Amino acid sequence: MENEIVISLKHLKKSFGDFTVLNDVNLEVYRGESVVLLGKSGTGKSVVLQNIVGLLYPDEGEVIVLKKNVPELEEEDLLELRKKIGFLFQSGALYDSMTLRENLEFPLRRHFKKLNDDEVNELVKEALDDVGLLPAIDKMPSELSGGMKKRAGLARTIILQPEIMLYDEPTTGLDPATSREISQLILKMQEKLKVSSLIITHDMECAKLTSDKIVVLNEGKIILTGTYEELSKSNDTFIKSFFTS
């Protein structure tokens, strides 16, 4: 449904001790939209994501995800909501003791207990094929490069067919060519699954390739929202720093 808001943050505030990380953050993500949350390191971008999935709770404000008020959910309802949200961590967060096949089988067997072995195997192969890792299906995480681990983490996330994807610095630590590959893969999954995506990054190439709109966070507040082209023409010193670094 177009124009349906799937993530709504209103007057979000979050502090740790005397340090205010988020100060009156307002953000909306629509169904099927890809939004980049841009900001320097340490400005609270990851804290935004953690509030969305209920890993942290706001001091003030509202967090509505898929029409659910996250801070008010009971644990069981929060777990149900999380099934609809894919979260790609910076590290890929693979289980070191499991092969790629086993890493992808794990969430399927946990959340979809009615699937038989053939159905699980087919879904695993499809997800790995989508990210170009089918030949590595029986490899261990220690045998994978950094870019391959990111792709494997994405495959394990999308295998549950989430409605929302959250990406935490998906290209950090990668060389430019691999970063571009991951950005293009995010775009491919966006188009295939029709998910709503929130991508936090300070990588402007990633932002350009993946975003419908960009939201800029600075000193705990959103200071500007626009397309990549609009931001590239900004005269604001902080905004210009992303295009010149």
For position 2, what pLDDT does the model report? Answer: 62
Q: Which domains does the chain have, with CATH numbers?
A: 1-76+194-245 (3.40.50.300)
Q: Cβ(168)–Cβ(146) under 8 Å?
A: no
Amino acid 145 reads S
Whole-number Å distance between alpha carbons of 113 and 90? 28
For position 88, what pLDDT does the model report? Answer: 85
Instruction: Work out the end-to-end distance of the chain between its first and last CA atoms, rounded to an integer number of angstroms.
Output: 38
For position 60, what pLDDT does the model report? Answer: 96
For position 245, what pLDDT does the model report? Answer: 59
For position 208, what pLDDT does the model report? Answer: 94
For position 178, what pLDDT does the model report? Answer: 86
Bridge partners, residue 22, by sequence: 14
Q: Cβ(115)–Cβ(109) under 8 Å?
A: yes
- The CB density around residue 224, as the number of other CB atoms within 10 Å, is 16
Mean pLDDT by 10 residues, the chain (245 residues): 87 94 95 92 89 95 97 94 87 84 92 90 93 94 89 89 92 87 88 91 90 93 94 90 80
For position 229, what pLDDT does the model report? Answer: 94
Whole-number Å distance between alpha carbons of 30 and 78? 21
